[in-house]
Amino acid sequence: MYALTLGDDGAELRPLEPWRAEEFLTHMDRGREFVGRHIALADAVSDAAAARAFLQAYAEKAAADTGRIHGIWVDGKLVGGVLVRIMDVGQGTAEVGCWLESAAVGRGLVTRACRLLIDWLVAERGIQRVEWRVSSANEPSIAAARRLGFRRDGVLRQSSVHHGERQDIEVWSVLADEWRAARERT
């Protein structure tokens, strides 16, 4: 196993594998209400079997080179994560996502973790377009996309149902050339 440091504050990015299902469920139980406000992850990880199945699906995506999931740990405690929800190396496209418990918000963890993930997608996997799809109501996630240099492509009006409510989904993207140019400036 490996861990990538996210800075000098004890934060690390590690693979979130099926054998961590209990830890993942405990984390989700702590953050269920906060995480579930805008994304279905909290609903999908409802018990130990569901947590294991969710992580197993991502292990299978990793094996097929179509996705990845990583947890964010601070001082040894799982507090959030980032994922490559969809990856098509042949087309050069990927979609990334993220989540955090409320106690971990405001520390730059998502931004730092996503930078590592997108660096890997662009430099190692040759991805040319990275997407970020987000509910128009999820202002913190939209702010993260902006901080990372994504541009809003458009809005898929009422394209998703979350907790019985139709929501608009914004599509944001960053292209490989834009990403590399921005990283050179920092």
In whole angstroms, give the CA distance from residue 93 to residue 90: 8
| pLDDT tens digits along 163-186 | 889 999 999 999 999 999 988 876
Q: What does pTM read for this prediction?
A: 0.93
User: Domain residues for 29?
Assistant: 4-185
Place of tokens 């394209």: 159
- CATH code, 135: 3.40.630.30
Q: What is the pLDDT of residues 53-94, one digit of tens each?
A: 999 999 999 999 999 999 999 999 999 999 999 999 999 999
Mean pLDDT of the residues in the chain: 94
Domain count, the chain: 1
Per-position b or e across 68-100, b if 16+ CB within 10 A of its CB: bbbbbbbeeebbbbbbbbebeeeebbbbbbbbb
Contact (Cβ atoms closer than 8 angstroms) between residue 53 and residue 109: no
Q: Within a 10 A sphere around the Cβ of 27, how many other Cβ atoms?
A: 25
DSSP output for 26-93: HHHHHHHHHHTTT-THHHH--SHHHHHHHHHHHHHHHHHTS-EEEEEEETTEEEEEEEEEEEETTTTE
